[in-house]
Amino acid sequence: MNRHFIALAALILSAAPGFSQDLTQGSWVDLTHPFNADSVYWPTAETFTQTEVFAGHTDGGYFYSAYNFAAAEHGGTHIDAPIHFAEGALKVDELPIGQLVGPGFVIDVSAQAEADVDYQVTAADITGFEAEHGQIPQGAIVLLRTGRAGLYPDRESYMGTAERGEAAVANLHFPGLGLEGATLLVERGIAAVGLDTPSIDHGQSQDFATHVELMTHDIPAFENVADMSGLPATGSTIIALPMKIEGGSGGPLRIVAHLP
C-alpha cells in the first residue's frame, strides 16, 4: 500500500503545474555568448577589451594569471535594465532576483525572421504560441527565437553592417519585437523578455517604441542571447543574472536554462 501511495504521489507531482525542478539533475544550456574582441556592440558603442596584467610563473613559485577589462554596458549577451529607456524606472542593481528567474516560454519566429530580416514579432505570433501551449503566465520569461544566434558575431550578417560609427546605424537590419507584441506581453505580466538579436526593437527602429513600452512597465530585455534551439517551448527554467553595476542602465548578463 505504501508503494501505491508513493506511485500516486509521483503521479501527482509530475502532473502538478508549477516550477519545481531538481537543479542537481537534468541539464543546463548556456545562452550566453563569451565576451571577447569579437563581441557585438552597437555601432556607436565602446567594444569589449581585455588586457593582461600577468600570466605565468611568479617569483613566489606559483602560477598566476589576471586581466583587466572594459566595455559598454550594452553589448555581447547583456541586459537592458528598465532605466535604459524609461526615466525613474529600475536600474540594473535594483531588479529583484525573483524577476530574473522564472519559467521559460520560447516562441520560435525563425521562419518569419528568415523571410524578413526586419521582421517585428506580432501579437498574433504570441497568441498563436498560446493557442498551442496555453496562456503565457505572470512571471514568465519569454524568449523570442529568431534563429539568428548562429550568425553572431559576424556583424555584417548578424546586424546588417560591420561598420562602426553614427552613419552605420541606418544600415542596421535584424528582427525585433513589435510594439503590439510588447503591449500584449506587458498585459500578460511577464517578468522579462529576451531574444537572439542586438536589440529588442528591430534594427530599423527610429523611436525604440518597444523598449519604451516594456521599460515603462519595469520589464527588462535580454539581448544577443545565444542559441535557443536546445530549449523546449515550455518546461525550462531561465536564470538570468546580470553584473550588479550600481546605478547601471544594463550590463553583461549570464543567462542559462535548466532542463528537467
Residues 142-181 that bind a copy of itself (CB under 8 A): none
Phi, psi of 131 (to 5 degrees): -60, -30
Dihedral-angle region of residue 247 (phi above 0 means left; psi in -120 to 50 means alpha; beta otherwise): left
State how far Cα 184 lies from the chain centre.
18
- Asked if 55 and 65 touch (Cβ cutoff 8 Å), the reply is yes
Dihedral-angle region of residue 76 (phi above 0 means left; psi in -120 to 50 means alpha; beta otherwise): left
Q: Does 1 help bind a copy of itself (rule: CB under 8 A)?
A: no
Among 3, 66, 132, 166, binds a copy of itself (CB under 8 A): 66
Q: Count Cβ atoms below 10 Å from residue 254 Cβ, excluding itself.
A: 14
Q: Does 46 help bind a copy of itself (rule: CB under 8 A)?
A: yes
Our CB check for a copy of itself shows the closer of 83 and 113 to be 83
Stretch that binds a copy of itself, among 113-121, 128-136, 181-189, 249-257 (CB under 8 A): 249-257
Q: Does 114 help bind a copy of itself (rule: CB under 8 A)?
A: no
For residue 156, the SS3 value is helix
Among 13, 111, 167, 170, binds a copy of itself (CB under 8 A): 13
Closest separation between CB of residue 104 and a copy of itself, Å? 12
Q: Does 14 help bind a copy of itself (rule: CB under 8 A)?
A: no
Q: Do the bridges between strand 192-195 and strand 221-223 make them parallel or antiparallel, or are there none, so unpaired? A: parallel
**Sign of the torsion angle spanned by Cα atoms 187, 190, 105, 40:** positive
Residues 67-86 that bind a copy of itself (CB under 8 A): 67-74, 77, 83-86
Binding track, positions 195-234, relative to a copy of itself; x by CB under 8 A: -----------xxx--xx----------------------
Closest separation between CB of residue 209 and a copy of itself, Å? 8
